Amino acid sequence: MSLDSQTLDSPFDLEKDKYIETPWSIIESYFKGQHLQRLVRHQLESYNNFVGYQINKTIEMFNPVHIASEQDYDAKLGKHALEIFITFENFHIYRPQIQENNGATKLMFPQEARLRNFTYACAMTVDINIKFVVRNGEGLENVQTFYKTLPKIHIGKLPIMLNSNICVLTQYKHVEHANTGECKFDAGGYFIINGSEKTVLGQERAAENKVYCFNVSKNNTKYTWQAEIKSVPDYKCISPKQINMMISSKNNGFGFPIYLQLPRVKQPIPLFIVFRALGVISDKDICEIIILNIESSKHEEMMKGLQASIIDANGYMNKDECIRYITSHVMYTPINMDKETGIKKKYDFTMDILNNDLFPHCNNAKQKLYFLGYMANRLLQANYNWVKQDDRDSYLNKRIDLTGALLNNLFRNYFNKLVKDMEKQIIKEINTGSWKSTDDYQNIINQTNIYKIIKSTTIENGIKRALSTGDFGIKHVNSNKVGVAQVLNRLTYVSSLSHARRISTPTDKSGKLIPPRKLHNTTWGFLCPAETPEGQSVGVVKNLSYMTHVTIHSNSMPIYEYIMPHIIDIQTLTPIEMFEKTKVFVNGAWIGITETPTELFKMLKEKKYKGIINVYAGIVFDYKMNEIRVCNDSGRITRPILRVKDKNILVTSSIISKLNKNELTWDDLLTDCKIKESVIEYIDPEEQAWSMIAMKPEELSQPADSDKIFKHTHCEIHPSTIFGVLASCIPFPEHNQSPRNTYQCAQAKQAMGMYVTNFDTRMDKTAYVLSNPARPLVDTRIMDMIHINKIPSGFNAVVAIMSHTGYNQEDSLLFNKGSIDRGLFQATILHTEKDEDKQKINGDEEIRCKPDPNKTKGMKFANYNKVNGRGVIPENTLVENRDVIISKITPIKENRNDHTKVIKYEDQSRIYRTDEETYVDKNYIDRNGDGYNFAKVRIRAVRKPVIGDKFSSRSGQKGTLGNLIPEQDMPFTRSGLKPDLILNPHAIPSRMTIAQLKETILGKTLIELGLFGDGTSFGELDVKTICQKLQEVGYESNGNEIMYDALTGEQMECTVFLGPVFYQRLKHMVSDKQHSRSIGPMVNLTRQPAEGRSRDGGLRFGEMERDCMISHGASRFTRGRMYDASDKYQVHVCKKCGLIASYNDQMHIHHCRTCDNRTDFAYVEIPYACKLLFQELITMNIAPRVMTNY
């Protein structure tokens, strides 16, 4: 609650209230009662659409599958003796089940899937309808038809997204979270694959069905300008077909001709040849289709631009010649057929390209022709610089592929593979099956061989592989779809939320391209401006703002139905009639023109406001290009915004009071069903570009003397909606320098808190739990709405900003040892060790027990005393370094039945290495999905902050613990208050984190008032108000305090700024990183010390360190580090040939095998790695010779 806001029940008055409660009532109605679903809404909606609608569509697309064997083909008659038609119907999804070893089945809950490493997935079945057409008799005239249905054929398992429509948790909504084992704050939106949680990142891509013009002369010598379009129809899902139109850079005497590059065609085809192949023959008609009015004087230049293209195609003057020309360039090689068939097939292939691959999003031939003309027109306009070239990075031209779309692509590809395999297998059955003996056609496909024909593992393994490796490309096709699925980040609660809302651009991260990484203006309100990683993926990985919605596929038929009566269909028009008329596009297809564009635009907008057409549709009247564009495709990014009419927002006080009383919900605000007219509209970036949006309702009413008059179309609900979930948790982010907010977004993901409420029952690899987290004094409205305050990750510490003792320079923090002893920032670290039984080839089970030293070989140098009979240490037992935590043995097969051998087993135990006091927290032994036993052991360590641990405030002020000061030595205020930590004043001026200072004085006021404060961005609370309030409650107005030095008892010379700040303890701790070694393990190959902390390795003294030592002239020291302390080695070298000789140490015999020398040798000290290099060079016929002077 903010200090100067009123309570919700007071009479509502916009002027007096100064825009404090209105927007929040609206935003709160969005999250009310379903804040978790809202946060991962895009994931759930996309997946539900995939399961409920797209899978069915995709399967229907393959119907019917026609199968005929080439063996019974009669070439003379052109008929097959047997044809099979297969249709897939009645697709069905079942509940997820666990099949135990003893044959029992039970319902699978996500928690069990996590613990037992299952994949949380459900079975999919289809009914297979088969139609056999049998021809026999004279001339195969006698036709018989048989029908057969195989019901409920299993086609694989589909991983389930948690909390989606087919998830068990949704069906058991009424069950308490304690009983399902889930965390009540868990939003879902991720999958469980082999026990690990995977989330799918939205993938950014270029929008389809849009013409883009680019100048390609920089990196292309052949062409200067290029127009491109990725075309895909919206009614069925096929891969997009890219069509490029280029202007050649070679002058053919009349100018620069235009070429068209089609899919499945080897080289670009001259533009006019394509027009003639489509049936427009005369040059004049073609020019008219491109320019619409060739008489107009302003189009003279365009006509000149087409001259070269006319000349280019003048050798091919009719349709057949042009089709023949294209046929000669298609990518088609006839295999196993005679010449005539080959020519016919190739011609069919060409016609298929022209019909299906050229602008498949256009519904009829006329639309295709005019669209081709439109594309050429756009290209010429860009060429003459009449219009600007398109911006690849603009969000007008971007779409986001969500989980559903990505899975649908996978499903389509693997289902296609399944159908192809099925065809092959059935042809095999037809040719070699046992049915022939009885001529029982019905028996070709039966219950026994159906699973040989339809392999249920194809789809299952394909999708599982994609989700577990994150590689969504199809095998053997090099695609940059790597890292699409990632292991859900479970460090803190907000890091999991943020991970589910992440958007990635599939580009090469190491690329030096700068423009794609910049914050583009068109992303205002859609993507968070602060939350992006630092380093190589900056600007490539982004996050959705907290009110953003990504559209899913929806039916466009209603839009066509409402538009068609109000426009002139393109099929009935001549080019001259279209000249200077407004073009109408729906999903990128040019469907006609309109005489009354403003009326049509208003009518469509009205329909959208009423919810008659999709409320997420984008409707734009582009009066510069004179086009009306309606977009309804999936993957557009949209956000809600207040509508404005007659310089007023349409929200009234009665609507607000109804929202507060729960009489209206968020969805009621989008249409006019329950209110007079809709008050909120969802707009996409393209609509935003053609709107005038006010930041606050006050901006709508301009003063009369204002020289600028804006016609506002919309108003922001609240400016803070531009931030994502993480940046919304920063108090007063508008008072920080931009990178500080970005840093805080990165720190918040690493803060310790309570990452889930059920951490006690989970077995995560590593988990950090803060022992006593506290709700921040200064929070934001969003934190309240999405209940982050109930599961916080930090503590309100009293911070003094001062220099003291010098141990807090360079971002160090001084801590009060007394506070830490009382439990400040104490945390529990949980670490899980997992041990799975591998299946041995000889089939011997591994046994978990305490090994008998007399019967077991290979026992480790470790302490076996703590393990019990089950092979694990009992819970709450102290575990020290080199204790065995999981002991298991495998039987030695050869010795099993041999009574002479005592040793029957081999030791396979797991040793735990630690430097701290740890306890076994929990043991979990069970069987996994493959029926093997496994054990998970969770180990607990309690850590207090020590010197070197990392902390951070919410303004990106990170620092390490520099020293612990005993409580009696801490400086204190006149009331005896001692700060918890002391921050160096140098951290403030250059970083300009004013938000932290504002948070401090507000927090100080709040403690006296017993309230929580509102630190929402762009709020109304200014520093002056806080200072006044602070003075009222009895403090100095700027938050400064007189302090006394505890060491001398004297008053300090100047006052100290002191107050509470919310600090976070981060996961980077010294005890995880400290490392040193003297002697230790070596690498066998080079005989140098190993590398890395986990291998107890050495610290590398590298080339640059060597250079420094040489520059100091410290030759002995250099030799000591690089030779004596690393890989010391000696060789004997033959003085005649300079190669390494053989040497017998005991008998002191030398022999050089190269030149048979036995007397003349030198003793040389070289590093072992150097000797190895010499030997490896010798294998390549290069002889490094060592020449000595003595």
pLDDT in tens, 936-967: 999 999 999 999 999 999 999 999 999 999 99
pLDDT in tens, 151-180: 999 999 999 999 999 999 998 888 888 889
Return d(Cα 337, Cα 366) in angstroms, integer: 36
Res 4 pLDDT > 50: no
Please name the helix (run of DSSP H) or strand (run of DSSP E) that holds residue 452, with its range, or none.
Answer: helix 450-453
The predicted pLDDT at position 8 comes to 36
Return d(Cα 487, Cα 499) in angstroms, integer: 9
Tell me phi and psi for residue 532, to 5 degrees: -150, 150
Percent of the chain with pLDDT over 70: 97
Return d(Cα 364, Cα 7) in angstroms, integer: 61
Res 821 pLDDT > 90: yes
The predicted pLDDT at position 20 comes to 63
Res 16 pLDDT > 60: no
pLDDT band at 478 (very low <50, low <70, confident <90, very high): low
pLDDT in tens, 249-295: 888 888 899 999 998 888 999 989 999 998 888 888 888 899 888 88
Return d(Cα 940, Cα 763) in angstroms, integer: 12
Strand order in the sheet with 398-401: 398-401, 202-206, 502-504, 541-543
CATH topology of domain 212-397: 3.90.1110
The predicted pLDDT at position 7 comes to 38
| Six token digits for residue 917 | 């006091």
Return d(Cα 901, Cα 890) in angstroms, integer: 16
pLDDT band at 146 (very low <50, low <70, confident <90, very high): confident
pLDDT in tens, 294-345: 888 888 888 888 888 888 888 888 888 888 898 888 888 777 777 887 888 8
The predicted pLDDT at position 705 comes to 63
CATH class of residue range 1075-1124: alpha beta
Percent of the chain with pLDDT over 90: 61
The predicted pLDDT at position 13 comes to 39
Average pLDDT of the segment spanning 235-247 = 85
| Six token digits for residue 143 | 């036709």
pLDDT band at 925 (very low <50, low <70, confident <90, very high): very high
The predicted pLDDT at position 430 comes to 82
Return d(Cα 904, Cα 188) in angstroms, integer: 49
Return d(Cα 730, Cα 740) in angstroms, integer: 10
* Domain 1130-1179 coded CATH 3.40.395.10: no
- Residue 1017: name the closest of 696, 731, 641 by CA: 731
The predicted pLDDT at position 5 comes to 41
Query: How much is the mean pLDDT over the chain?
Result: 89
The predicted pLDDT at position 801 comes to 96
- Residue 440: name the closest of 134, 50, 820 by CA: 134
pLDDT band at 573 (very low <50, low <70, confident <90, very high): confident
| Six token digits for residue 712 | 């506002």
Return d(Cα 767, Cα 546) in angstroms, integer: 27
Superfamily covering domain 827-943 = RNA polymerase II, Rpb2 subunit, wall domain (2.40.50.150)
The predicted pLDDT at position 841 comes to 55
Position with higher pLDDT, 77 vs 368: 368
| Six token digits for residue 7 | 């309570």
The predicted pLDDT at position 618 comes to 94
Return d(Cα 719, Cα 715) in angstroms, integer: 10
Res 840 pLDDT > 80: no
- Residue 669: name the closest of 13, 19, 28 by CA: 28
Position with higher pLDDT, 682 vs 100: 682
The predicted pLDDT at position 1187 comes to 92
Residue 326 contacts residue 272 (beta carbons within 8 Å) = no
Residue 1090 contacts residue 1098 (beta carbons within 8 Å) = yes
* Same-fold call for 1075-1124 versus 1130-1179: yes
Position with higher pLDDT, 241 vs 995: 995
**Cα–chain center distance at 965:** 45
Position with higher pLDDT, 596 vs 13: 596
* Domain 786-825+947-1065 coded CATH 2.40.270.10: yes
Task: Indicate the SS3 state at residue 196.
Answer: strand
pLDDT band at 584 (very low <50, low <70, confident <90, very high): very high
Residue tagged 């999250």 (tokens)? 31
| Domain spans of the chain, in order of start | 39-200+402-486, 212-397, 786-825+947-1065, 827-943, 1075-1124, 1130-1179
Res 656 pLDDT > 50: yes
Question: Cα–Cα–Cα angle for 55, 59, 61, nearest 5°?
Answer: 120
The predicted pLDDT at position 732 comes to 95
Return d(Cα 229, Cα 236) in angstroms, integer: 18
Return d(Cα 526, Cα 346) in angstroms, integer: 48
Average pLDDT of the segment spanning 535-558 = 92
Please name the helix (run of DSSP H) or strand (run of DSSP E) that holds residue 748, with its range, or none.
Answer: helix 738-748
Question: Taking the model in full, what pTM does it have?
Answer: 0.91
Return d(Cα 473, Cα 479) in angstroms, integer: 6
One-letter identity of residue 589: A
Position with higher pLDDT, 899 vs 200: 200
835 among known catalytic residues: no
Strand order in the sheet with 933-943: 766-770, 827-836, 933-943, 918-927, 878-879
The predicted pLDDT at position 3 comes to 41
Most confident by average pLDDT, 413-422, 659-668, 958-967: 958-967
pLDDT band at 140 (very low <50, low <70, confident <90, very high): confident
- Residue 81: name the closest of 319, 455, 322, 430 by CA: 430
Position with higher pLDDT, 817 vs 856: 817
Q: 421, 811, 1045, 1072: which one is catalytic?
A: 811
The predicted pLDDT at position 475 comes to 67
Residue 354 contacts residue 277 (beta carbons within 8 Å) = yes
